[in-house]
Structure formats: structure tokens, C-alpha cells
Amino acid sequence: MTGSTRLNLLVLPAVLFLLAVYVWPTLGLFRNAFNEVGPTGAMVEAWSLKTGAEVFADGFTFELTLNSLWLSLTSTLIALVLSYPVSLFLFRTNSRFRGLLAVIAIMPMLISGVVRVFGWLAILGDRGLVNTLAQSLGLISTPMRLVFNWTGVTIGLAESIMPYMILALLAGFGQLDRTLEEASRSLGATPFRTFLRVTLPLSLPALALAAGLGFVLSMSAYITPKLLGGGRVFVLATEIFEQATTNTNWPVAAMLAIYTLGLLLLLLAISNIAARRLQR
């Protein structure tokens, strides 16, 4: 339609805003990673790899990386195993409450993370739901340590990424043709065999994408490791925050952030390639 050249100009405010408050600061982050920290702890403008060398020579960085990867792997796997039946249920069900159930499944992502972390404290704490229940049943005599350690963080992270994974899986299932399952049943396969031989193989690409998403989200999560870890769980995310705020060591924080971002991109690429391979 004529007059659309002026319409195009409407993108300008958004472009300028993102250039100023997103692109420029992100470039600044990269720039900072090559600054140095002087003997007094003050930042010195430079173009050097000294910070980078320090960060990667430190065994602690390696340990943090392994911690982050392990935490993300375990919570992603737990979340995947739990999300899959919910997504499949939502995809299959004829219930007239389907819409409501879908909303309930993804609603937690709209509820403040702090609130949900607090809920886990009440469930997993020394005098929380699980310990009270186990003690009253006589299963244990002293409370189990379920929060302020890796267990609590893993559970909390798995729960926080589930809504995203359910959405991703549902999107993936959208391409799953129900008549294929019906065909399998009509050929004599039991529901379970049908699941193993038709449904599961066809949903593998969606699983790969959801896993990639969950991994990235848990790698970059800060609130859950911080609050449910109680200062005993060290991952890249917590270290970046500590370096930036408590230590005000910006070059190190920036270098770690770029390193983490690189890892995330690598993981995303792997899950995308895996999804594409599985599609065939």
C-alpha cells in the first residue's frame, strides 16, 4: 500500500532504544573483559588478555563450569522427564478443561521466582513439608538436608524451567500427526508399544529443543542457586554476580559473562543440530 515508507519510520524509536540500552552496553561488556585490575583493585583501562588469562588459569573457573554443567544437566533431565507426560497429556486430552490445565502448567513462569523459591523453602526446609511428613511417618529421625545444598537447587531449578519446556514440547507435538498413532493401534500395537515405536521417536526433535532450552535457562539462572543454595552452591551465575557486585571486579565478571554466553551458544547450537538430525 502506498504510504508505507512513512510507516517504516515507526521502527526508529525502538531501534534507537535498543542500540543505546542493549547493543551499546553489550559491546561495553565485551570491552570491559579486556580491561585490567590494578594492584589497588581499581580498574585500569587496557586492551589486554591479562584478565582472561587469570580467569582461565584459575582452577576455580573450571570447577564452576563443571558445577554449572552438572546442575543444568540434572535439573534439565528431571524437568524433561516431568514435562513430557504433562505435554503429552495436554496434547491428547479431550477434556473441556484443557485450556485451563494448559494455563496452570505454564502459569508458574509468570509468578515471581522469589515466591516459588520461598515455597520450596517451606517444602524442603528442615521443618518443611517433606521432613515433617517423613518424621511423622517414622521414616527418619533427624531432618534430611534438602535445601541450602545441591539437592534443593536442582529441585528448584527443575521446577522453574518446566513451564518453558512444556511450552516447547507442546509446540513440537503440534507437528505430531495423531492418525499415525491410530494407524499403529489399528495395526495391532498396544498403547505402550505405540508410544515406544511411534510417539516417542516422533517427539525426539521436540525433546532435543526443549532440553536445549532448559539447559540454557538453568545455566543462566541466578535467583534459585543463590537462595536455595544458601551460599553453599557455587556456579558461574553466582560467581558473575559476586564478582560484579561484592568484589566490584568488573573485568573478571565481564570475562566470565562472555565465557558463559559462549557456553550457552554452543549448547544451543548442539541442541538445534540434534533436533534437526532427529527430524529425519
Closest alpha carbon to 241 in 224, 216, 266: 224
Reduced to 3 states, what is the DSSP secondary structure of residue 238? helix
* The three three-digit cell numbers of residue 82, written as one number: 516431568
176, 202 contact by CB (below 8 A): yes
Closest alpha carbon to 76 in 185, 201, 188, 218: 218
Rounded to a whole number of angstroms, the minimum distance from the CB of residue 74 to another protein is 16
Rounded to a whole number of angstroms, the minimum distance from the CB of residue 276 to another protein is 17
**Residue 49 or 109 with smaller CB distance to another protein:** 109
Give the Å distances, CA to CA, from 36 to 39, 56, 139, 180.
10, 15, 55, 61
Rounded to a whole number of angstroms, the minimum distance from the CB of residue 95 to another protein is 8
- Alpha-carbon dihedral angle through residues 197, 198, 200, 205, given to the nearest 10 degrees: 130
Rounded to a whole number of angstroms, the minimum distance from the CB of residue 163 to another protein is 8
> Looking only at Cα atoms, what is the longest distance across the chain?
78
Rounded to a whole number of angstroms, the minimum distance from the CB of residue 277 to another protein is 21
**Residue 8 or 142 with smaller CB distance to another protein:** 8
Rounded to a whole number of angstroms, the minimum distance from the CB of residue 202 to another protein is 13
β-partners of residue 36 are 44
**Residue 202 or 227 with smaller CB distance to another protein:** 227
Residue written as grid cell 585500569: 44
**Residue 27 or 53 with smaller CB distance to another protein:** 27
